[in-house]
């Protein structure tokens, strides 16, 4: 991962495994844009590997798309990325075209507003990693129920000192932490 001076955001993140392995995704300098670290992504996708092939994936606060593209690289059937920043959404579409990933679709919309719609499909895996300053874990989690397939997995990433209140019926599957981040994988009730 390329590092900018003063511990700013990286200039790019690398896809770790799968058919896109080694591909780089740009990380624009945007307030609140904080890609999931390579170390955390590696742990997460080791947990997810048995569940990815053919999965329908929702990346709610896509940002750089690191989580969604990693899922597509490792065998997800489809990945829907929701990103409200129009420039980031455009960049995600450009990266999907550059990488020739037809399974990735990008919507330039506010994730919470989008969740308020009638669900058109159910997702097997959801990435819930909003900008930390937005504190959107609880409202997004509360709105997810109609969008989840039976036994869906939900990945939640938040600051280490934050414990969001998540829906009853979500059971902790695995969790970990770094110095700054707590990350966990939950299973929705069957």
Cα-based distances in Å from 14 to 70, 120, 133, 174, 178: 9, 31, 25, 24, 19
Domain count, the chain: 1
pLDDT confidence of residue 167: 94
Domain that holds residue 105: 5-187
Q: What SS3 class is residue 179?
A: coil
Higher confidence at residue 175 or residue 7? Answer: 175
Tokens of 106: 């990008």
Contacts of 120 (CB under 8 A, 6+ apart): none
CB 56 within 8 A of CB 123: yes
Residue 140: pLDDT band (50, 70, 90) is: very high
pLDDT confidence of residue 2: 38
User: What crossing angle do the helices spanning 38-52 and 66-73 adopt, rounded to 10°?
Assistant: 40
pLDDT confidence of residue 131: 87
Give the mean pLDDT of 98-110: 96
Output phi, psi for 77, to 5 deg: -70, -40
Cα-based distances in Å from 179 to 102, 121, 124: 36, 36, 29
At residue 3, does pLDDT exceed 80? Answer: no
* Gap between the Cα atoms of 18 and 76, Å rounded: 11
Q: Which CATH number is 95's domain given? A: 3.40.50.150
CA neighbor of 58 nearest in space, from 134, 129, 142? 129
Give the mean pLDDT of 65-92: 96
């Amino acid at each position: 991962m390329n590092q900018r001076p003063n511990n700013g955001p990286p200039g790019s993140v690398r896809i770790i495994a799968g058919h896109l392995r080694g591909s780089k995704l740009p990380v624009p300098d945007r307030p609140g844009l904080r890609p999931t670290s390579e170390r955390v992504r590696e742990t997460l996708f080791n947990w997810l590997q048995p569940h990815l092939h053919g999965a329908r994936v929702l990346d709610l606060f896509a940002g750089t798309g690191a989580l969604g593209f990693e899922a597509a690289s490792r065998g997800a059937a489809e990945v829907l990325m929701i990103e409200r920043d129009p420039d980031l959404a455009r960049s995600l579409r450009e990266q999907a075209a550059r990488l020739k990933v037809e399974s990735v679709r990008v919507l330039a919309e506010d994730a919470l507003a989008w969740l308020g719609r009638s669900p058109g499909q159910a997702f097997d895996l959801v990435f819930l990693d909003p900008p930390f300053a937005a504190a959107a874990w609880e409202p997004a989690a509360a709105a997810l129920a109609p969008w989840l397939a039976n036994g869906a997995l939900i990945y939640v990433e938040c600051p280490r000192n934050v414990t969001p209140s998540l829906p009853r019926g979500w059971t902790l599957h695995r969790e970990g932490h770094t110095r700054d981040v707590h990350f966990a994988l939950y299973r929705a009730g069957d």
